[in-house]
Structure 1
């Protein structure tokens, strides 16, 4: 039953639901330009891309590293060793911190996926920080 106290019409309400549908399904903005987003993110908004926001729940180092590697490497980059991956990352103008992490890996190692590479980088980072 309509009481008539709604600020918007039924049609505008449906239009707004349609605009937000991509955001609600994916959990992150779906527009390529922020000004075109129905609800642009504020700087102090919690990072909800990694699931429910709870105390202490953020992306782990492994998840963040894997995401950054996946942004810079393709499936065609694998299988490969650290030297080939370093060249690929440098050609793609990857962040220096990401490229420098490959220097700690054994030169004869081969990686078949981003996941394997991220795990190896995470483990080499732990052993490097414990030895320092």
Structure 2
């Protein structure tokens, strides 16, 4: 019994040897190990990865800069739960309660005094840019 594993019997040893035989023979990943394979990547040849010009970057809609997208995303996070029409003071209070920096709260208080129903309206009033539809 010195030959055999202490965890299982010879029958299970033979089964395990049979299960890994294809992997050992192939010398490459098998379908059983797809989770180990690397994901395909976007071909970045011809692009300068250190360039500050990110206007054409994926995820940046036409008509907006990456900074506009980032600021609008932050604004949506600060105004989380914003579903009913709100005036600038109420928007500023909500943002402050959600951890918005003082400059954001101050900008919200300076908005024209009207009711805002969507974050997009607030972003547009703040001059954060507006995406244009792609054809």
| TM-score, reference length from structure 2 | 0.49
Aligned equivalent of 1:86, options 92, 102, 113: 92
Q: Does 1:66 align with 2:81?
A: no
Please give the alpha-carbon distance, in whole angstroms, between the structure 2 residues aligned to 1:78 and 1:64: 24
Q: Deviations over 1:99-128 (max 9, x none)?
A: 12113212x2111100000000117xxxxx
Select 2:58's aligned residue among 39, 51, 63: 51
Whether the aligned pair in 1 keeps the contact of 2:92 and 2:105 (CA below 8 Å) is yes
Kept in 2: contact 1:77–1:88 (CA 8 A): no
Aligned equivalents of 1:72, 1:20: Cα separation in 2? 34
2:122 to 101, 117, 124: 117
SS of the residue corresponding to residue 122 of structure 1 reads coil
Listed as ranges, the gaps of 5+ residues in structure 2 are 1-24, 42-49, 129-135
Larger radius of gyration: 2
Q: Say which SS state the counterpart of residue 77 (structure 2) adopts.
A: helix
Q: Deviations over 1:1-34 (max 9, x none)?
A: xxx896x5225750135x869xx8xxxxxxxxxx
Residue number in structure 1 paired with 2:35: 15
| Paired residues, number | 90
1:73/1:20 CA distance change after superposition, 3 Å: farther
The change in CA–CA distance for 1:97 and 1:5 in structure 2 (over 3 A counts) is farther
1:51-82 Cα offsets, whole Å, 9 max, x none, are: 179xxx95142x22221111121344531010
Call closer, same or farther: CA 1:60–1:93 in 2, change over 3 Å.
closer
RMSD: 3.9
Give the structure-1-normalised TM-score: 0.50
